[in-house]
Structure 1
Amino acid sequence: MDVFPAENQVGGYGDQALPAEETDKDDDGVDLCRICRSPEVSDNPLRYPCACRGSIKYVHQQCLLLWLNRRGYKQCEVCGRSYSFVPVYSENAPERLPCHEFLRGLLLRALRVVAWVFVLLFNAYCYSLHPWGRETAIENKRVFRVPEKLAPLLASFIYDWLIASFITLIVMLRIIVQDLFGAHVENGPVHGVVARVAFVLWKYMRILSDWWYDHLIRLRFFDAIMVDVPREEVVRLRNAQLHEFGVIRSFLFLLDDNAFAVLAISFHVSFFFVLLPFFMGKLVVALLQVSTQLLSGYSLGQEPVIVGYLTMLLLSFAYLGSFATLSRDSIQAIARGLSMGFLFVAEALPLYLWITSVKVWKNLSVVKDGVILCLKIGVLPLAIGCWFDFCTLPILGTPVSQRLEMISEYPLAMIIHWMLGQICLMWAFNSMELIQRILRKRPFWFLLDVADPNYKITKLRIGQILFALAFHGSMMVIVAHLPILTISHISPSFLPLQLWIYDERIMFRSMAAYTCLTRLAPIEWFAELIKASAEPIVHKWIITVSSWLKLSEFLLENHADQNVRPLQHRDDWFLVSSIAEGSVVCFYGSQSDTTFEEDIDDDDRLIARIGLMLVLAALSLFLISTISMVLPILLGRVFFHSITFITFGLKNDDLYGFCIGCYILRAIYITTCFVTNHIMIGRTDLLLNFVLLWIRNALLFSIWISLIPTLLGLLIDLMIIIPLQVPLSESPVYSLLLDWLIGLVVLHIWTCLTMFTRINCFATVAWREKLERIRTIGINRLPSTWLLRDVICSIIVTLSTTLGFPYLVAYYLFPWLGFSGAVNLAVQRLIWPVLLAIIILGFVAKLTLDLFIYIHRVEYNDRYMVGDRVADFTEDLQ
C-alpha cells in the first residue's frame, strides 16, 4: 500500500514529471502513467482519481502530487473533477480515541483559545496605556456608541494592525538588506552589557520575523508586491526556530507555535513601545513630585508614556556621550581639527560652490524636465479636477465659499481633485480612441501625435496644454454645468441630490451602505454599459450627420457603412503620454498627405459645415447628459416613493436611486429588444415560452418574497419581539408589514449564508442540496413541480407547523384542560419563546457535538495518521 506524508510532499521523479502528449499504451498493452509514461510497480501503483478515461485514466500518486504542487490547485485540467485524498492510519490505530486522550486534546485546544483571548486582552490593555489608544477608545465610544468597557477592546484591533505592520516592515527590511543585497549580520563576539542585551533582543526578533515571513509566504503576500523580483529569490521558507526561546517556550509548551509566536510578538512590541516607556515615565514622575508645577502639563504629568519616551531618548544620548569623554590629548586634537576645518572652509568652499554650480548648470535639463513633468502630470489634472468640482457644485448644493473654506482647512483634499482630473483625462482618452476608430486622421492634423518617433514627453508645448484646458473646460460645461443649470431652472426642487450621508441619524449606516454599493461593483457595470452603448451610437451619429452635411468624403472617405477599425498596437507608455498631454492627441501614423488647407481651397464652406457639426455635437451631448441625469434619478425616486410604506421613515437616496433607475432602464431596453427581435424573425412560439417562463418565475418569486417572509417574520415576532417588549398585562399589536420586512431580511441572510458561503450550520443537508441544485442548474431549467413542492411548499409547511402547533396547544388544549385565565395567558405569550429556547438548545447541542467530533478527528489524525493516498474515482462513487 502506497503511503505518502500528510503534507503531500513528494520526491523522486523531479522535473521529468510533466504531462506527456502520448495517447497510447506501451507496446505490451500495459497501462501507463499519463504524466511520466511509466507502468506501475509494486511500491508505486497506478491510480485513477478522476473521470478521465482511456490512456489518461491512470497516474502515479507521486507524479500527481508533484504536478498538483506545480499547478497550485487540486483539480483535473481535463474533466474538471477535484481530486480527493483519503487518510492512511497506522496498524495499531484504535477505532476511536480513549477518553483520557480525547480530554487531553480538548484541554490543549481550550488553552490555545484562552491564549488567543489573552493576547487580545493584553494588546487592549497596552494600547489603553498609550494616549493614542485612549483617544481611539473615546472616538469609538462616540462614533459606534459602544459601552465604555468595550471601546478599548475595539480600539485594540487598530493596535493589532499596527503590530502586524511593524513586523511586516522588519521582514521587508531584512529581505532588502540580506536577501537582495547579500548583506548578512555576522554573529561575532559581543562586548558590553548593552550590546549583549541588544544582541539577544535582535536574535529573538529575528526568529519572530522569520515566523511572520513564513506566514506571509503562505498568504502569497510577496507575489503581490514584488513583481520585479524572481519568486525563487524571495519565497523561501525560513522555518523559524522557536525552540531557541528556551525556558520560555518550554514553560508555554501547551501553546502551539502560532499562538506562542503571536503572544511573543505582542509582548515584544508592547514592552518596548508601551510598557517600558509607561513604567519609566511613572518612575520619573514619582521621583520628581517636587516639581509638580513643572510636570503638570499635558505632555508630562498626564502622559507617562511621553515622559518615558523622553527619558529613553535622554538615556540614549547619555550612553552615546559616554564614549566621547574628553582628555587633554583629545582636546588638543579637536582644536587642531577645528582649525584645519576653518582653513578648509575658507579656501575650499568657494571652489566647491563653483563646481556645484557647474554641475547644476550641466544638469539643468533634468530640472527642466522634472518641472515639465510636474506641470503635465500634476498641475494639468489638478486644474481639470478643480474645474469639474466647480461645475458639479450645484448637485450637492455646496456653495463655492464653503468649498474654498474646506480646501483651506484641509489642503490634502486637493488629492481628490487631482484624482478627479485623472478620471476625466481617462474618459477623454477613451472617447478620443472611439472617435479615431471611426474618422480619418486628416481632421486631426492640428493635434499632437504621441506615436510620432520624434515625440518627447519632456518637451513643453504651451499651445497643447492651453488647448487641452480649453477643450476639457468646455466639455465639462456642456456635459455637466449646463445640464445642471437647466435642471435647476426647470425644476428647482430636483437639486441638490438627497444622500444618506448628510443625515446625521444614519451617517455611519450610510457609510456601510455605500461600502456595500461599492463592493457590488456598479462602477464596472456602468463602464461596460456605457462603452457597449456609446460605440454604436457615436458611430451612427457621425455617419448620419456627416452624410447630411456632406462631410463623408472629408471624414469617412465615402465609407458610410464602414466598420470600426482597430488602432495600432500600443503599450502602457502611450497611455501615460496621452494623459500627460491632456488626452486630446492622435495615436497612429498619417493616412494621407492631404492637409486641411488643401481641403479649404477645394470647398470654401467646409469650415462652416464643420462648425455646424460641432454645434450639433455639443447640443447632442447636452441633451444626452441632461436625460442621463434626470431619467434614472426620477425612476429611482419613484421606486423609493413606491416602497415608502415599508421604509419606516427612511428617506430615499439618489445615488441608490440612480443605480436602480439605470437597472430599470436597462431591463426595459433588453426586454423591448428581445420581444421585437423575436417578433421580427417570426419566433412567436419561442417568445410565448419565454413569457410563460417569466410568468412562472414571477409567481414563484412573489410567493417566495410575500408569504414566506410574512410567516417567518410573524414567527420571529412571537418568539422574540413581543416577549421582550410587551408585558403580560397588555395585549400585543401585530403589524404584518413589519413582520414581512423582518422576515424578508432574515430570509435573505439565511439564503446567502447557505448558498454562497461555507457556513452549513443553519440548514440541513437536504436544504443545502436543494439550494445548491438551484444555484448550479439555474431556476429556469428546474421543473415547476419540484420548485413548488420541494422548495416553496416545504418551507411553508415547516413554518406553518411551527406557528400552528403552539397556537393549537395554547388556545385550545390548555383552556380545555381547565387551567385558569392567568395560566392560559402566560402560556399563550410564552409558548413560542419556550419553543425558541428548545430550538436554540438543540442547535447548541448539535454544534457542540460537531465540535467534539471535529476535535476527535483532528486529535486522532495527529496521533495515528501516517499519510494519505489519492482516492480512486470508483471509491467516491460507492
Structure 2
Amino acid sequence: MDVFPAEKNQALPAEETDKDDDEDGVDLCRICRSPETPDNPLRYPCACRGSIKYVHQQCLLLWLNRRGFKQCEVCGISYSFVPVYSENAPQKLPWHEFLIGLLLRAIRVVVWGFVILFNAYCYSLHPWGREVAIENQRVFRVSEKFAFLLAGCIYSGFIGYVMAVMVLLRFIVDHLFGLYLVNGLGLGVVARFGVVLWKYMGILSDWWHDHLIRFRLFHAIMVGPGEVVILPRNARLHEFGAIRSFLFFLDDNSFAVLAISFCVSFFFVLLPFFMGKLVLALLLLFQRMEVAMQLLSGYSLGQEPVTVGYMTMLSLSFAYLGSFVTPSRNSIQTIARRLSLGFLLVAVAPPFLLWILAVKVWKNLSVVKDGFILCLKIGVLPLALGCWLDFCTLPIFGTRISKRLELLSNYPIIMIIHWAFGQICLMLAFNSMELIQKLVKKRLFWFLLDVTDPNYTITKLHIRQILFALVFHGSMMVIVVHLPIMTIFLISPSFFPIQFWIYDERIMFGSMAAYVFLVKLGPIEWLAELIKQAVEPIVHKWIITISSWLKLSEFLLENHADQNVRPLQNLDEWFLMYSIAEGSVVCFHGSQSDTNFEEDIGDNRFILRIGVILVLAALSMFLISTISMVFPILMGRVFFHSISFIIPFELKYDDLYGFWIGCYILRAIYIGTCFVFNHIMIGRTDLLLNLVLLWIRNALLFSIWISVIPALLGILIDLMIIIPLQVPLNEPPVYSFLRDWLIGLVVLHIWTYLTMFTRINCFATVGWREKLERIRNVGINWLPFTWLLQDVICSIMITLSTTLGFPFLVAYSLLPCLGVSVAVNLAVQRLIWPVLLAIIILGFVAKLTLDLFVYIHRVEYNDRYMVGDRVTDFTEDLE
C-alpha cells in the first residue's frame, strides 16, 4: 500500500482545484492538497505558480522517491537541497575525529583491494581460473601475476552474476511460494544450516537488489505491468551479529562486498578445494591412489582437487537425501506391491498415451499445419535470405564457402545472425515497396498478394508468393551486392578483402573499444536518416523521367506525372507483420483487378518498354550500389594513407572506420558545393562572402590550434620526459619535431576533452573552465575573433612559451655567465625541465591532497552532525 494522494488528485480537473483554492483562500500542497502546519511548512522549490506552487518537503521527497525525477516535471527547474546540522555542530571537526574518520576510510579502501586479491587467489585455485589466466597471459602478453589479477576481476563479475541470480531466485520464492519451501526444510541439522544460509544470503541479496534497482535493465526484468516502481528492501546487515560488530569500522557497502566475496568463494572454490585435498590425502594414505585416480579421471579435470571436492559434495548430498527414503523390513511387501503396480502402469500407459496423443493431434491437425506454415514464413524465409546474402558478400571478407560451412557446422548459433540479416532485408524491401506504391498506379501490382484483403489469412500457404519472394530478393541481392563486388574485384583485385582492426590480435582489446565507441556515435542512424531523405525524391524523379522517355506515364503514373504523390493509407502493425511474413513483396491498395490491363499488354511494344524499364532499373541499382561501395571506402583509405605520411609509426587502416569517414567527407563536399551554388544562383554573394570570411577566420584559428600549440606542447613534453629518460647525459639529444607535434596534439585534445565534456576539474583552473564552457555553450562562430585570439589562443601560447623560454634563458644564458663548469652546465641544461616538471607535479599533488582532505572533512562532518536536508525555495536559488 504505497498510494500517494497526488496520484488521486491528478485525476481531478484543474478547474476544480483552482476553485477550491479560490474559495478557501489558503495555500495548499500540490501533492497532498493540505495546508501548512507549524512543523511542516510549505515550500516553493521551483518556478511553478498558481495552485501547484507550494509543496510540503515530505510530500516532495516521497514523490521523488517514487517517480525518480530530480527536477520539476512542469517547469523543468532542478530541486535544490541544503544540509541541516545539529545545534551542537562545531564549525569544523576536531583533529582526532578527523584522523579517526580518515583512518576508517583508508581501511575501507584497503578492504576493497583485499577483496580483489582474495578473489584472484580463490579463482587461481580453480582450473577454470588457471585456464583464463593462461589465456590472458597469451593474449595480452602480461606477467603471470597480472594475468591472475585479470582473471580475478572476471571472477568478481561472475560473483555479481551469481548474486543477480540469487536476487531473481529470492524474488520468485517470495512471490510465488512464500515461505513454504523454507519452512519445509526442518529435517535436521543440515536443513537448519540451509535455512540459516538462505537467511544470510537473502540479506546480501537484498543489498545487491538495492543496487540493481538503479539500472533500467533490472527494472525491465523485474517490474510487472501493474507496478510503477521497485521499492528498496533495506538490507538488514546488522543481523550478522558478532561478525558485523567485529567489523564495525567498515561501512555497509564494504562489509557486504566482503561478505559476498567470502561466501561465494567459500562454497564455490575453497570448500570443494579443501574437501578434494582431504579426499586425495586419504586415498594416498590408504595407498589406493592409482585405483582412485583411474576412477576419478574420467575426464581431464579428474585429478583436480576442486573437481574431486565437487564430486564429494554431490555424493554426500545424495547420501543425505537417501537417508530419508531408506526402507525398513516391515515395508518390503508394500514396496513390492507398489513396484508391481508400477510395472503394470508402465506396460499399459504408453499405448494409452499414444492413443490420446493421436486423437489430440488429429483434432488439432490445423494447429500443427498453421504452426508449420508460420515457421516456414517467419523462420525459414528470412534464414534463406540471410544465408544467400552471406554467400553474396563472401568476396568482401576473403572467405571461402568451405570455411564458412565449417564455421556454421562448428557454431550453428551463428545462423541467428543470418536470420536477423534476412529480417533486415525484408524490412528494407517493405520500405522500398511502400515508396514505389506511393508513386505508381495500383493495377500494376495485380499479381502480388494483398494483405489488406479481408479474406487474407497468414496461416495459408501461398507457395507462389513464397517462391516469387525468394526469386525476387535473391535476384535483387545479386544485382545490388554480388555483381558490384565482382565488378570491383575484376577492376581492382586488391580492393577486397576489406581490412578490420579486430583481425589483429595485438590491438584486439583496443579495436573492440574503438568499435564500441563507433556504435555510441550513432553513424548508422545518421546514414539511415540521410538515405531516407535522399532516396524518395531520387526514385520519384527517376520513375517520372524514365516513364516520360518510354511513353509510359499514362500507364504508370496516371495523374502523378505532375509530381503530386498521393498519400498511402496508414497500416497497422499487423499488416506490417503480414507483409514481412509474405516476403515484403505485397500490395496495400485493396483489390488489384483491372479490366484495362489486358488491353494495355496487348501491344508488343508495351511489353518491350516494360522490359526496358526493368533493365534500366537493375542497371541503375547496380551503378548506385557500386558507387556507394567504392567511393566511401576509397576516400577513407586515402584519409588513412594521408595520415600515415604524417605520423611516425605505421598505421593499419580499418575499412569500417574508413567507410564512415568517407561518407562524412563526401557529404561535406556535397553540402558545401550545393551551398555555394545556391547562394550564387540567388545572388546572395554578400552573405556568401561573409561566410567565406568566417570560414577563413575559423580555419586560421584551427590551424594555430593544431599546429603551433601542439608543437610547443610536444617540445615541452619531449624536454621534460622523453629526452631525460632515453638520452644519456654524455650524448646530444635528437629532436623529432613531427613526433613532438603528434604527442602535443594528442595531449592537447585529451586535456580539452576532459575539461570541456567531463566533470574532471583538476586539470584546469576556474578561469580556463569558464572559457571552455563559454566556447561549448555559445559556439565558436558566435564568439568575437579578438577574444578567441587573445584570451584563448595567445594565452595558451604565452604560457607554453614562458615554460619553454625561462628555463632556456636560465640554462643557456645565466649559468655560463656565472662561470660554472661545462659538465654542470650540460647537466643543468638537460635536467632543468624535468625539475620544473617535478615541481609542477608536486604542486598538483599537493592541491589534490588538499582537496581530498577537504572532501573527507566535509563527508565526515556530514556523517557526524548532519540530521537531514531542507529543500530551498526558488527565490533563494535566484539570490
Q: TM-score, with normalisation over the residues of structure 1?
A: 0.92
For structure 1, which segment, 127-136 or 357-366, has the greater mean C-alpha deviation from structure 2 after superposition? 357-366
The one-letter code of the counterpart of 1:623 is L
Q: Pick closer, same or farther for the CA change 1:704–1:32 going to 2, 3 Å.
A: farther
Do the aligned partners of 2:6 and 2:30 also contact (CA within 8 Å) in 1? no
Q: Pick closer, same or farther for the CA change 1:205–1:856 going to 2, 3 Å.
A: same
The alpha-carbon deviation at position 411 of structure 1 amounts to: 3.0
Question: Highest relative contact order (Cα 8 Å, sep 6+), 1 or 2?
Answer: 1
Aligned counterpart, 1:568: 569
Q: Pick closer, same or farther for the CA change 1:75–1:328 going to 2, 3 Å.
A: closer
Query: Could you say what secondary structure the match of 1:758 adopts?
Result: coil
Distance 1:33 1:686 in 2: 55
Distance 2:485 2:5 in 1: 72
Instruction: Map Cα deviations across residues 242-295 of structure 1 (whole Å, 9 max, x no partner).
Output: 111111111111111111112212111111111111111111111112233342
Matched, 1:462 2:463: yes
The alpha-carbon deviation at position 515 of structure 1 amounts to: 2.8
Distance 2:480 2:408 in 1: 25
Provide structure 1 residue ranges, at least 5 long, that are not aligned to the other structure: 1-8
The one-letter code of the counterpart of 1:619 is L
Q: Pick closer, same or farther for the CA change 1:608–1:713 going to 2, 3 Å.
A: same
Matched, 1:827 2:828: yes
Alignment equivalent of 1:108, drawn from 83, 100, 104: 104
Q: Pick closer, same or farther for the CA change 1:840–1:19 going to 2, 3 Å.
A: farther
Match runs of 1:245-256 below 5 Å: 245-256=240-251
Do the aligned partners of 2:223 and 2:230 also contact (CA within 8 Å) in 1? no
Instruction: Map Cα deviations across residues 511-546 of structure 1 (whole Å, 9 max, x no partner).
Output: 333332222222111111111111111111112222
The one-letter code of the counterpart of 2:123 is Y
Distance 1:546 1:777 in 2: 50
Instruction: Map Cα deviations across residues 209-265 of structure 1 (whole Å, 9 max, x no partner).
Output: 122222222334432224653224x71322222111111111111111111112212
The alpha-carbon deviation at position 482 of structure 1 amounts to: 1.0
Match runs of 1:79-98 below 5 Å: 80-98=76-94
Match runs of 1:778-857 below 5 Å: 778-857=779-858
Q: Pick closer, same or farther for the CA change 1:132–1:86 going to 2, 3 Å.
A: same
Aligned pairs, number: 868
Matched, 1:478 2:479: yes
Q: Pick closer, same or farther for the CA change 1:31–1:700 going to 2, 3 Å.
A: farther
Aligned counterpart, 1:293: 290
Percent of aligned pairs sharing the same letter: 77
Matched, 1:123 2:119: yes
Distance 1:575 1:463 in 2: 20
RMSD: 2.9
Query: Could you say what secondary structure the match of 1:766 adopts?
Result: helix
Do the aligned partners of 1:445 and 1:596 also contact (CA within 8 Å) in 2? no
Distance 1:830 1:16 in 2: 74
Query: Could you say what secondary structure the match of 1:288 adopts?
Result: helix
Aligned counterpart, 2:168: 172
The alpha-carbon deviation at position 180 of structure 1 amounts to: 5.4
Q: Pick closer, same or farther for the CA change 1:376–1:194 going to 2, 3 Å.
A: same
Instruction: Map Cα deviations across residues 392-426 of structure 1 (whole Å, 9 max, x no partner).
Output: 12222223233233333333333332232222222
Instruction: Map Cα deviations across residues 89-126 of structure 1 (whole Å, 9 max, x no partner).
Output: 22221111111111121122112112211211111111
Matched, 1:278 2:279: no
Instruction: Map Cα deviations across residues 332-361 of structure 1 (whole Å, 9 max, x no partner).
Output: 222222222333344444333222221232
Q: Pick closer, same or farther for the CA change 1:372–1:291 going to 2, 3 Å.
A: farther
Aligned counterpart, 2:231: 236
Aligned counterpart, 1:540: 541
Query: Could you say what secondary structure the match of 1:86 adopts?
Result: strand
Distance 2:450 2:477 in 1: 24
Do the aligned partners of 1:285 and 1:301 also contact (CA within 8 Å) in 2? no
The alpha-carbon deviation at position 626 of structure 1 amounts to: 0.9
Do the aligned partners of 2:446 and 2:593 also contact (CA within 8 Å) in 1? no
Do the aligned partners of 1:34 and 1:55 also contact (CA within 8 Å) in 2? yes
For structure 1, which segment, 294-303 or 126-135, has the greater mean C-alpha deviation from structure 2 after superposition? 294-303
Matched, 1:135 2:131: yes
Aligned counterpart, 1:6: none
Distance 1:573 1:873 in 2: 50
Do the aligned partners of 1:381 and 1:419 also contact (CA within 8 Å) in 2? yes
Aligned counterpart, 2:609: 609
Matched, 1:396 2:401: no
Distance 1:53 1:154 in 2: 56
Q: Pick closer, same or farther for the CA change 1:723–1:573 going to 2, 3 Å.
A: farther
Query: Could you say what secondary structure the match of 1:646 adopts?
Result: coil
The one-letter code of the counterpart of 1:400 is I
Matched, 1:758 2:759: yes
Do the aligned partners of 1:636 and 1:656 also contact (CA within 8 Å) in 2? yes
Query: Could you say what secondary structure the match of 2:84 adopts?
Result: strand
Aligned counterpart, 1:640: 640
The one-letter code of the counterpart of 1:110 is A
Distance 2:570 2:173 in 1: 40
Match runs of 1:559-598 below 5 Å: 559-590=560-591, 593-594=593-594, 597-598=597-598
Do the aligned partners of 2:601 and 2:607 also contact (CA within 8 Å) in 1? no
Q: Pick closer, same or farther for the CA change 1:351–1:408 going to 2, 3 Å.
A: closer
Do the aligned partners of 2:133 and 2:147 also contact (CA within 8 Å) in 1? yes
Do the aligned partners of 2:546 and 2:613 also contact (CA within 8 Å) in 1? yes
Distance 1:537 1:182 in 2: 64
Do the aligned partners of 1:252 and 1:260 also contact (CA within 8 Å) in 2? yes
Do the aligned partners of 1:10 and 1:66 also contact (CA within 8 Å) in 2? no
The one-letter code of the counterpart of 1:807 is F
Matched, 1:225 2:221: yes
Distance 1:341 1:369 in 2: 38
Do the aligned partners of 1:646 and 1:738 also contact (CA within 8 Å) in 2? no
Distance 1:300 1:504 in 2: 29
Q: TM-score, with normalisation over the residues of structure 2?
A: 0.92
The one-letter code of the counterpart of 1:710 is A
Distance 2:180 2:189 in 1: 23
Aligned counterpart, 2:257: 262
Match runs of 1:733-772 below 5 Å: 733-772=734-773
Query: Could you say what secondary structure the match of 1:869 adopts?
Result: strand
Q: Pick closer, same or farther for the CA change 1:796–1:279 going to 2, 3 Å.
A: same
Distance 2:90 2:131 in 1: 57
Do the aligned partners of 1:20 and 1:35 also contact (CA within 8 Å) in 2? no
Do the aligned partners of 2:6 and 2:31 also contact (CA within 8 Å) in 1? no
The alpha-carbon deviation at position 771 of structure 1 amounts to: 1.1
Matched, 1:626 2:626: yes
Do the aligned partners of 2:439 and 2:560 also contact (CA within 8 Å) in 1? no
Do the aligned partners of 2:210 and 2:232 also contact (CA within 8 Å) in 1? yes
Q: Pick closer, same or farther for the CA change 1:817–1:211 going to 2, 3 Å.
A: same
Match runs of 1:269-668 below 5 Å: 269-289=264-284, 290-294=287-291, 295=293, 297=297, 299=300, 302-590=303-591, 593-594=593-594, 597-600=597-600, 603=603, 605-647=605-647, 648-668=649-669
